[in-house]
Chains A and B, each alone.
Chain A
């Protein structure tokens, strides 16, 4: 059945028709053409589809689009302000945390969720925060370094 839902994605309001079965991932990718959010498994295991929903990270493949009615979504496209990159985006580039880039959007959003709550995470906390995101390319080391580096930038630490 069709449902009409309203939601905000990256600050923009949408009123849109969705089927009961449509998942948020497909709404974002197929209907809104925000393809930064990736599809890696459709079963909550890989985290490629991670978006922020009302301020917390979720697997958009595991949320029905109708369930997102009235919510605020942030995808990777909503992270930078124009040309101004988020510190995480900058660190991911500089620290070599990006290889094929398939996991990157989800990884960055998971990292953002961590830093939103904890501005000075330990390396253990970083690893745990990205547990739900598989990266097959980097072995995670440089991703962790990038997250630590961004945390330090955001705290305003001197380098």
Chain B
């Protein structure tokens, strides 16, 4: 590939300037003329029938403009995913978790709205709740949704090869059980929206989302209206991490409040609401059974996972499937069985989280694998290499791995972390010493580009060029701070040969942008990047043909880079600037240049768009991490000394932003592994503030050593998505390191000192 001008370079984010000066306007910063402030009255009961709702006093409070309950809006049960219709905008008969929406207020100020909430009276008839997924599946468990007849929302059962035969042929069989707890996203900006109703029945929504079109579709579904009546304008989010893939339950409420008042209504969560109401990742209970040969070859692996859906269905079906796919694809195993259940409880509903269930199942299997290695007397690295994936079809699932840097990832991680020496050193350390060290690793595979679910694998982009040569890309890319818009700017600048500063991004507004479900599954740089590149190349072709007229040569003889058009055979001799070409087009030719790009995955297998399993992922990305720890055996306190993270980026479009993505993911992964304990007691969230829910701070972060492997895949310029994978192997790597240090394996996240100390005591080690 010829020398690139901006791709692969350290380039600062294009939105950073407005953010460091305080000029960047987020949802919470927006005000509109006549705007009212909404607040939601939420259930204080885990599970109860609503006997009576009295809002009369609240309605009378001066400054209150509307109070609504289920009685005021059309009855409707909806679901974000059409798989399990179970949710109401405001509860009419029953509440199913603490925080469930019962009524809402719009008032002149937040304070008045809050006062009004205090005047709302609800009489409940408490019902027994169900909180543990295993118990919830029992036949006598209280039903979260009576009409469903069971708390089991959905099940998935997949077998590849012959699992029983695989176990029969194995020399050893290992079984184990792990719990991957919930994690709160803790976006620094809490969820919120502004809704504006317009006569004629249409709504405009301003909200931070991971996909304005998704929000539009889901809001239309929730309200039971035609999509064309909804316009969503995405306000760049203050963090998303999967939380904003699905519609915020506040949005339909704000929409109705606006309809009732005729005024824009702003509805923003408090931090407390954010903790108990804005949804978390799914809790996974994971049962594993693995059959191996004496040498460590895995012949059969089986997982049974149970996901806590919470009270309403969100991304659960997709999550069960995706976790199963990555479980089945990581390691080339001939016989695989995967069973997943999604179960209702009276807990807060769960939703997507960066990693999409991968980290939950990865923690279990990668910790389990280290145990197997230990029993067989193998080095953890050895057993992984022995079962490594290779380019091509996997044995059992027939997933196609385009580019497989499995081996490189693990070997590079070992090299950068000093694996071999440290592992040996710590094996030999004096076990009587108070402080013990350990190093652990974990491997992962993740999608390098979303899934072949309906419409996920297509993207469109348009380029318009103004008379001064400014190139505007109309794209569905969403800016969450991950650098999506910067990546698009780079791709357009590189593809068209214009200067970065001449590129503008037009995004966010469903009335303007092409359809696209949004930023998740590490998909946007890949898909929308492809579309942007195609549009850039399309526009470039036109531009060069105009330049050819100007220069009196053939278009094929020309090329452009960094804003300059030149003869291919004389790249150092600038002929004309791209800006001048744009001007010439308008003033001399009386026309305009534009570009159109479409990317659609034509290789999606028949029927794969909805029903396929491992084949529904177009390309897999790999990653490996090693963590080194020191454990105080007197207190169980674990100090993380160093983390090494290798990421298969396909191609690193922008190392500055890519490193930022991995650093951030590691912080979240370490938080999940280590201090972020989300405690729910009988449906009540006890960790509802940063005092009790400990997200990492600067001092908590260890030395981070990063590297990228450029496997050069199918994305634009070879990229694979890297937005999620950085936090997948972290949990197991930490647990495995603590295991080497102490002989204690923590099987339920997080790996907190108290559990380590308990483990040490049980083993009689202190």
A residues sitting closer than 8 Å to B (CB atoms) are 29, 33-43, 45-46, 48, 75-77, 79-80, 85, 88-89, 92-96, 98-105, 108, 126-128, 130-131, 133-144
Contacts and interface: CB of A to CB of B under 8 A. Distances in A.
Contact of A42 (B270, B481, B698): B270
Interface stretch (B312-320, B359-367, B657-665): B657-665
B29 interface: yes
Contact of B704 (A41, A46, A92, A141): A141
B429 interface: no
Interface residues of B, number: 57
B12 to A, nearest CB: 5
Contacts of B188: 38, 40, 46, 48, 100, 102-103, 134-137
B85 interface: no
A135 B238 CA distance: 10
Interface stretch (B20-28, B511-519, B544-552, B750-758): B20-28
B85 to A, nearest CB: 33
Given A46-B188, A102-B188, A142-B660, A38 B698 contact: no
The 8 nearest A-B residue pairs measured at CB: A36-B22, A100-B481, A101-B19, A139-B663, A102-B238, A99-B481, A35-B29, A76-B22
B697 A134 contact: yes
A88 B483 CA distance: 20
Interface string B681-703: 00000000111000111110100
Given A42-B270, A43-B271, A127-B699, A93 B666 contact: no
Nearest to A126: B698
A37 B24 CA distance: 11
A77 B21 contact: yes
Contacts of B19: 98, 101, 104-105
A5 to B, nearest CB: 19
Contacts of B662: 139
Interface in B519-570: none
A80 B19 CA distance: 12
Contacts of B471: none
Contacts of B696: 139-140
A93 B24 CA distance: 14
B659 A38 contact: no
A75 B481 contact: no
Nearest to A76: B22
B241 interface: yes
B690 A43 contact: yes
Nearest to A135: B188
B193 interface: no
A10 B701 CA distance: 34
Contacts of B697: 130-131, 133-134, 140
Given A36-B24, A89-B20, A102-B238, 6 more contacts: A93-B20, A96-B13, A99-B13, A101-B481, A139-B663, A140-B697
Nearest to A130: B698
Contact of A40 (B13, B31, B271): B271
B73 interface: no
B202 to A, nearest CB: 28
B237 A100 contact: yes
Given A40-B188, A41-B689, A136-B241, A98 B698 contact: no
